[in-house]
Amino acid sequence: MDQTNQRESKTFTDFLRRIFKKVLDGIGGFFNRLGIRPNVITTTGLIGNIIASVFIATGRLFWGGIIAMVMGPLDALDGTMARLRNESSRYGAFVDSVTDRYSEFAIYAGLLVYFIITGTWQDALLVFFAAMGSILVSYIRAKAESLNYSAKIGLFTRAERYLVLIPGIILGYPQISLWILAILSNLTAIQRFWHVRKQAKEDGDIKRRREDSKND
């Protein structure tokens, strides 16, 4: 039996998808009827976040944050459209995940340039730790699932990071958001690491018991 499916947990992102499923289905169905393909939505989200990062890098935090906020729902919409079209695929999910990472790091890049220009190297370092936590949260899950473990847990998945980062940018206090992300994203990465470690230990115990029963 697939160990990953047995140990799969629900995240806040999954909760939001369930809550807004009807809304996303309605919008996704409308776009499908217009002939818009899911990959157009995916590309639009990526380009939009790159534009937002340019605004942020040049000090126009409010407008950069607004653009990033508008692009956020597209993260869920492209997958919804693919599902409604019966075109969901592993490769589509792969492309969606990759573009999501680029979108997220585009915003971090904008903040990094902004802080470098303003001369606050401490805040630039804060961007690094926030981005590092975001990378590790995604990487640990991907690596765990490639080894047939589950790591879909944690306090700060992408939805939580988005809900913390964007308001801080819009209100002009990105440092507050970055402190929260730098701490809680890395704690989430550690949480996922220990979750995988626990599964590995359980697998080892099961294997030993099976070997012992064969020797009896």
- Distance set, CA 192 to CA 139, 152, 155, 206 (Å): 10, 8, 10, 21
The amino acid present at 53, given as its one-letter code, is S
CA atoms of 186 and 193, how far apart (whole Å): 10
Q: Look up residue 9 and give its DSSP letter.
A: -
Q: Give the contacts of 178 (CB within 8 A, at least 6 positions apart).
A: 111, 123, 126, 127, 130, 165, 168
Burial 97-128 (b: 16+ CB within 10 A, else e): eebbeebbbbbbbbbbbbbeeeeeeebbebbe
Compute and round to an integer the Cα radius of gyration of the chain: 20
100 catalytically annotated:
yes
| Selected catalytic residue, list 75, 78, 100, 123 | 100
Positions marked catalytic: 100
